[in-house]
Amino acid sequence: MPELLVSICQEISDFIPNNEKDLKTELGFIVGTSKLSKSSTSVPEKPEKALNLCAAALAIIGIGDGGNKKAKEILLKIESYFFLQIRLSIRNKMDGIYIIVDPEATNNIDVYDMTKSSLEGGVKVVQYRDKLNDRAPFLENCYKIKELCDQYNAAFVVNDAVDIARLSGADFLHVGQSDMPVEEARRILKPSQCIGRSNGGVSESTESEEFGVDYLAVGAIYATSTMGKSARSPLGPSMITEVKSQTGLPIVAIGGITIENLPDVIQAGADSVCMVSAITMSEDPEAAARQLVNIWDRYR
C-alpha cells in the first residue's frame, strides 16, 4: 500500500464525523487498520477539501497495477457522502423571498439590473427563467446573475435548462412536472448541484421527494395569470402545511402571492416564498423587495 495513499486516507478520516462508523471502518479497510484518527467534530466540515483528498486517493489507486476495485468502491462511496453534505448545506439557502427573473416579465428592466435591485432589497433566492433567448445570451446572463448572487450570498436557480445550470455553476436546477426527469438531470449536473421541482399537491410532492429532489415548490397557492399559470386551480395556504407535515425538504410556496396574503403563506409554514410580479412589475423593485422581506422577517 503506497505510503501517500495511507496518509491521504488518514486525512480523509479527519473529515468524517465519528458517528459515521461504517464509513470509517470501510476507509480503514483500504489502509489495513481499524484505528483511523477520530474526527474533532460530530458534524461534517469542509466537504470540499475532503473531496479533493478523495480525488487524490482515487488517482493513486488508478495508476496502480490494475487498481484496487474494492478500495475504489469505498472511496466513491465516501465521495458521494461528501457531495451530499454540500447539497444539504445548499438546501439551507432555500429560505426567504424567492424571485423569478424572466426577460419577458421585468417591466422592460434589464435582467441584471432587476436581479441586483432585488438582491439589494434582501431577496435570498433568484431563479433565472428564459424562454426568449438563444443559448449563448441565456448562458451569459446566467454567468452574470450567478456572480451577483454569490456577492449577496443568495441562492441561484436556473429554470429547466440543465446544461445551462451545470455550465453556470447554479446552486439549483428547477424543473416542472413535464420537464426533464430528475434522475436524468442528475446525470448531467455536478454531484454537488441541487434540484427543485414544481408540485400541484401532496401526491406530486411525495413523488418528487422519492425522485431525490432538494426542494419542493408547491402551487399555485392562489389564482395567478403570471407565466401562463392561469389554468391552475388555487390550492390555498393549507396545502403548504399539509405537504410540510410529510417531508423534511424545504417548501417553496408559489403562485398568486402578494403583499396582502404573504403573512398567511408564511404562517402556513413555507420555508421560502416565490414572488414575481409583486417585485418585477413594480415601479421600484428594490423597495418592493425590501417591503416583502420586512414582512417575511416580521412573521417568520
Beta strands in the chain (DSSP E): 96-101, 125-128, 155-159, 172-175, 194-199, 215-218, 251-253, 272-275
At 260 the pLDDT is 96
> Which pLDDT belongs to residue 32?
82
Task: Record the cell numbers describing residue 19, joined without a space.
Answer: 458517528
State residue 276's pLDDT score.
92
pLDDT at 282: 94
Segments of the chain scoring below 50 in pLDDT: none
Q: What was the pLDDT predicted at 8?
A: 93
Domain ranges in the chain with CATH number 3.20.20.70: 92-299
At residue 163, what are phi and psi to the nearest 5 degrees? -65, -40
pLDDT value at residue 275: 93
CB 126 within 8 A of CB 99: yes
Q: Give 92-299's CATH code, choosing from 3.40.50.300, 3.20.20.70, 3.40.50.1370, 3.40.570.10.
A: 3.20.20.70
Joined together, the cell numbers standing for residue 257 give 402571492
Residue-level pLDDT at 162: 98
